[in-house]
Amino acid sequence: MDLERRRNRRVAVDEDGTNAVLKGALLVAVRDISPGGLRLALGSALAAGGVYPLTALLQGLSLAAPVRITRCRPGAFPSGFPVARAGSWEAGAEFLWRDEADAAVVRRWLERRAPAPF
């Protein structure tokens, strides 16, 4: 049995293609999200520790928050991603909330999508 090491359970985002922008211009696909962070598919590598603005629209959730990249490794794009498959990357990022109210909006959105407690 593989124990979950994350503080928060992740919820898959059921969308194909891009649904977010990182650094103001880099198209990314949000794969899954939790109250503490998210997993991204992107077309170029990012250095772990880098902090970037993220803007996303996820099935009724409009999100604008800075994130810190926690890891980045070669990965695969979801279908419909508008970038060449060669050089695909997968990154993990943690939210750097400016306001607790923004974090609460994400938690409520996640609760509606996955009623189980976090």
What are the structural domains, with CATH classification, of the chain?
11-113 (2.40.10.220)
pLDDT mean over 7-27: 78
> H helices then E strands: how many in the chain?
1, 7
For residues 14 and 32, the answer to whether their CB atoms sit within 8 Å is: no
Q: Please, which pLDDT band fits residue 100 given cuts at 50, 70 and 90? A: very high
Could you tell me if 99 and 84 are in contact, meaning their C-beta atoms sit under 8 angstroms apart? no
**Res. 77 pLDDT band, cuts 50 70 90:** low
Q: Is 14 exposed, middle or buried (0-12, 13-18, 19+ CB in 10 A)?
A: exposed
Distance of alpha carbon 111 from alpha carbon 40, whole angstroms: 21
The pLDDT value recorded for residue 86 is: 46
Residues 6+ apart with CB under 8 A from 78: 15, 16, 17, 29, 31, 41
